[in-house]
Amino acid sequence: MSAPLLEVDNLVTHFRSDRGLVRAVDGVSFSLERGQTLGIVGESGCGKTVLSRSIMGLLPPKNVVIGGHVRFEGRDLGALRAVDMRRVWGAEIAMVFQDPMTSLNPVMRIGVQVTEGLRVHLDMDKDRATETAIALLKSVGIPEAERRMHQYPFELSGGMRQRVTIAIAIACGPKLLIADEPTTALDVTVQAQILNLLQDKQRERHMAMILVTHDLGVVAGRTDHIAVMYAGKIVETAPTATLFTEMRMPYTEALIRSIPKPAAPSHTRLRAIEGRPPDLVRPPVGCNFAPRCPYARDKCHDHEPPLEGGEHAFACWYPI
């Protein structure tokens, strides 16, 4: 078997702050095969966004402590020089961010932004790049693509802007697309359209995709695997169907239970998780979730459980 497309090995990203070291990502390992989709799910502050930026190498240069390895097709991305990393960005790994208004340049026409990657990475001349860009915009469902090429981002709706960022991301045929909360800023009917679009493009181009989200509903029907993060660590990872039916980690169960379900009768009492996530400067000694866990016993407060298991791994001393 050849090496997986992406291998993340004991990745650590800590930020220095006045209060001490913030353990945003604290020893995360996973791998992703070509053409597969992975959902990374967790609440705000769990480290999911820092993780995706660490994989991309998009962290500020100062006050960051990085450890572990990110291997893409066997190459250690952390060891690449900035100039080599630029050949990876866009061409091999591309990213779609949460807010399409801030990820597009407000003073550049759409056409310039879509053709930029094509000209830099694929060395296309202007006419070819323009032609390709129009085809790309059409393929992501933008009507009147020729006219849109001359427009600025503010002239487009939120959903249309996110379609543009997707067109830019897939322009150079990346092998991996990282979508970080791509639909959080969008309305629910538009969200469904964008998620369907991402899925279509991922299948059509056989890209691998990492879908980062706080919403289990977004990843439920659209990923092969899910990794649940809590306080900087992966606490459970499994094939998607398994995770929902045979969850072992109490946090996963609590997260699924606390979502109000449209199918449940109104006024159904929600099973909230009491308390709140730990301070990442001073995480608990044992399991990070133990202070909020209904099943926690003494051992959980004293010893940290390792993430163990094969395809379905979980970090819990007393799994469900």
Partner 1 sequence: MSALLEVTDLTVEFPTGPGRKVHAVSGVSFSVHEGETLGLVGESGCGKSTTGRAIMQLPRPTSGSVVYDGQELTSLRGDSLRTVRRQLQMIFQDPISSLNPRRRVHDIVAEPLAIWNVGTKDARDDKVRELLDAVGLDAAAATRRPHEFSGGQCQRISIARSLALDPKLLICDEPVSALDVSVQAQILNLLEDMKVRYGLTLIFVSHNLGVVKNISDRVAVMYLGKLCELAPADDLYARPAHHYTSALLASIPVADPRVRPGAAPDAVAGDPPSPIDPPSGCRFRTRCPRAEAHCAAAEPALREIAPGHYVACHFPIGENDGR
Phi-psi region of 155 (alpha: psi -120 to 50; beta: other; left: phi over 0): alpha
Binding to partner 1 by CB under 8 A, coded x per residue (else -) over 84-123, reads ----------------------------------------
Q: What is the DSSP string of 110-133?
A: HHHHHHHHHHHHS---HHHHHHHH
CB crowding 77-92: b at 16 or more within 10 Å, else e: beebeeeeeeebbbbb
User: What minimum distance in Å lies between the beta carbon of 252 and partner 1?
Assistant: 11
Nearer to partner 1, 2 or 44 (CB): 44
Please pick, from the candidates 17, 196, 203, 298, the single residue that binds partner 1 as defined by CB under 8 A. Answer: 196
Applying CB under 8 A, which part among 24-32, 55-63, 117-125, 214-222 lies near partner 1? 214-222
Give the helix/strand (H/E) hosting 29.
strand 20-32
- State how far the Cα of 274 lies from the Cα of 298, in Å rounded to an integer: 19
User: What minimum distance in Å lies between the beta carbon of 49 and partner 1?
Assistant: 14
Task: Based on the shown chain and the rule CB under 8 A, indicate whether residue 167 belongs to the binding site for partner 1.
Answer: no
Nearer to partner 1, 106 or 262 (CB): 262
User: What minimum distance in Å lies between the beta carbon of 229 and partner 1?
Assistant: 13
Nearer to partner 1, 11 or 218 (CB): 218
User: What minimum distance in Å lies between the beta carbon of 73 and partner 1?
Assistant: 29
List C-alpha distances in Å: 101 to 76, 98, 137, 178, 239: 32, 9, 17, 18, 33
The crossing angle, in degrees rounded to 10, of helices 158-170 and 110-121 is 10
Which residues from 224-283 bind partner 1, rule CB under 8 A? 240-241, 243-244, 254-256, 258-274, 276
The residues, ordered by sequence, that sit 6+ positions from 216 with a Cβ below 8 Å of its Cβ are 41, 255, 256, 259
The residues that touch partner 1, with contacts defined as CB under 8 A, are 43-44, 157-160, 187-193, 195-196, 199, 214-218, 220-222, 240-241, 243-244, 254-256, 258-274, 276
